[in-house]
Amino acid sequence: MSSTPPREPSSARPQPKVAYWRQNLIVIGILLSIWAFVAFGCSILWIEWLNQFTIGNLPLGFWFAQQGSMYVFIVLILVYALVMDYLDRKHDVKE
Residue 54 is inside which H or E element, if any? Answer: strand 54-55
pLDDT, the chain, mean: 85
pTM (predicted TM-score): 0.73
Q: What is the pLDDT of residues 22-43, one digit of tens each?
A: 999 999 999 999 999 998 888 8
Do 71 and 34 form a contact (C-beta atoms < 8 A)?
no
Listed by start position, the domains of the chain span 20-93
CA dist 81 and 78 (Å) reads 5
Q: CB count, 10 Å around CB of 43?
A: 19
